[in-house]
Amino acid sequence: MSNKRDASRRKFIRNFATATAALATGQAVLATEREPAFFNILHRNGYAANDTINIALIGAGIMGVQDAITALRVPGTKMVGVCDLYKGRLSEAKTRWGADLFTTRSYKELLSRKDIDAVIIATPDHWHQQISIDAMRAGKHVYCEKPMVHSIGEGPAVIKAQKETGKIFQVGSQGVSSLGNEKAKELLKDGAIGELNYAEGFWARHSPTGAWQYPIPADASPETVDWEAFISNTTKRPFDKTRFFRWRNYTDYGTGMSGDLFVHLFSSLHFITDSFGPEKIYSSGGLRYWKDGREVPDVLLGTFDYPQAKAHPAFNLSLRCNFVDGTSGTTFLKLVGSEGSMDITWDDVTLKRNKAVESDDPFFIEQMKKAGTPITGRKRILPPEEYTFKAEKGYEGGPYDHFVNFFEAIRKNGKVVEDAVFGYRAAAPALLCNDSYHQDKAMLWNPEKMELVKSK
């Protein structure tokens, strides 16, 4: 692997030498007191469509509405139908998208319409598998919010339906289509950080809405909510408006912090590294602050062992999510290699490359002498070289690009990166995080075969 790594490193240095020519003209430079730091703008070409794709939304809650708004910003899209189990959302949909909009409580009634080309599935997680399969078998292309499935055993059926129907199926971890993720993938391939050995990521929130204490409508009741349909594929219980509107807090319907947030980090990491996923998953955490009756932790830590694969060496990953933290920003993914590191968001990448590390530390000098490597002259520790790649002003963002990729695949009968196989490989370690937390043990997974490994 060393020859391959050296070739990648030489390629990076050669490519970067061309890019840094901008330094000579004063462009793409951020001045500092120490020395100039490279700064580069990432661009995205515009997009235009020559025909219309009719879409429908299944699940018109917070994420579903936001997905639909983003999708409709892409040229050549039209909203023709909305399905939700709460009457209030159907009324809001007509106000937002027109009085002639078709609305229903039955997703199967919506799928039977011939004027719908594609559906956005933004229901609670426990309905993702069944509606996705039914939609593809009804001839619809599917954009399904993450995680792709609610439990580890549900993935193969979605993969099977996609293969058999040939429909475009894309999971909604939008960072996969972002400029930031694309640049990080390019930099890693070019050897910018050397050989990957460690990655880490986190999400931090500290607000009621951020911690899933979503507002509950005043008119919530068995008359305005189809509760029986909501629970028809899970545990039967009396109407509970809190469970319906704050479903992420309950294991019958949601997948907790890992299913909602870790899965974004897995998706970005796997896209950037071309990884199939980890082979060992362990998590711990607890309910530290939001003690509102929820069944999932509000602090969660996960550690993951990634085996050596054709695309990458073996490396370790640590993830954390904290809903009791309002000081650490929002989300973050860091890749660390033998020659540097990358801090990655959907909109930018900050690359730090190691310089030759020297030291004037007496202990260091003495140890070098003992090792037969005497130090001559006074040396110092040099700061890393730093380069920033940032999306241009006005960039539409990863969510927009994700829908562009989805609609382009539909028009051209093409492919998307985050298909059912990719989606399952990102969802699986997130779901196994929950299993590890509840069972208090490490979970073993075969990422290539996408199978659980029985403990010995």
- Ordered DSSP codes for 165-197: H---EEEE-GGGGSHHHHHHHHHHHTTTT-SEE
Both tokens of residue 233? 């594929």
- Residue 254: closest CA among 123, 398, 371, 373: 123
Tell me what pLDDT residue 357 has: 57
Tell me what pLDDT residue 36 has: 43
Q: Between β-strands 443-446 and 451-452, what pairing exists: parallel, antiparallel or unpaired?
A: antiparallel
Cβ neighbors of 437 (< 8 A, separation 6 or more) are 283, 284, 285, 297, 300
Average pLDDT of every residue of the chain: 90
List pLDDT tens digits, range 265-286. Answer: 999 999 999 999 999 999 999 9
- Residue 338: closest CA among 80, 82, 9: 9
List pLDDT tens digits, range 369-421. Answer: 777 776 666 556 667 789 999 999 999 999 999 999 999 999 999 999 999 99
Tokens 């998590």 map to which residue? Answer: 283
Both tokens of residue 358? 């020297």
Q: pTM for the full model? A: 0.89
Band the pLDDT of 46: cuts 50, 70, 90.
confident
- Residue 268: closest CA among 331, 320, 328, 330: 331
CA dist 341 and 424 (Å) reads 28
pLDDT at 343 over 90: yes
CA dist 147 and 193 (Å) reads 30
Residue that wins the pLDDT comparison between 55 and 29: 55
The answer to whether residues 325 and 204 touch, using CB atoms and an 8 Å cutoff, is: yes
Tell me what pLDDT residue 301 has: 98
Q: Mean pLDDT throughout 125-131?
A: 98
Band the pLDDT of 26: cuts 50, 70, 90.
very low
Q: Between β-strands 169-172 and 141-145, what pairing exists: parallel, antiparallel or unpaired?
A: parallel
CA dist 10 and 33 (Å) reads 29
